[in-house]
Structure formats: structure tokens, C-alpha cells
Amino acid sequence: MTVCGTELSMSEQQRKAILESLKRMSDRAKTDPDYAMDVLVKEGVYTKDGEVGENYR
């Protein structure tokens, strides 16, 4: 993968660790609404007030 003109690579172990982490986050978000909202706020999809984030309007 190339980002900003720099070739980036990761090992299979790193890739698996990232995918496992994403799965754990996804599983938790499906069962814990507060956690799901925290993730959406941190990513900028929603504001803390529950409004749609600026980049998603």
C-alpha cells in the first residue's frame, strides 16, 4: 500500500492482530449501545449532543 508516496507494508501477524481487534470492537458495539455511540463520536460521525457530525451533513 502507498500512502503519501511512501510504500507501507505490514506483516501477516500485524494484519491478523488488527482484524481481531476490529472484530472485538464490532462485537462489543453490537451489544453495548453506549460503547457504540462513543466510537461514533470519536470517529466524528456524531457529536456528543447526538447531532450528525459536520463531515456527514
Q: Does 6 score more than 90 pLDDT?
A: no
Host domain of residue 51: 2-56
- Global pTM reads 0.65
Reduce the DSSP state of residue 6 to 3 states and report it.
strand
Q: In total, how many domains does the chain have? A: 1
Whether 39 and 31 have beta carbons less than 8 Å apart is answered as no
Secondary structure letter of residue 2 according to DSSP: E
Whether 28 and 38 have beta carbons less than 8 Å apart is answered as no
Q: Does 42 score more than 80 pLDDT?
A: yes
Grade residue 10 by pLDDT with cuts at 50, 70 and 90. confident
User: What value does the mean pLDDT of the chain take?
Assistant: 91
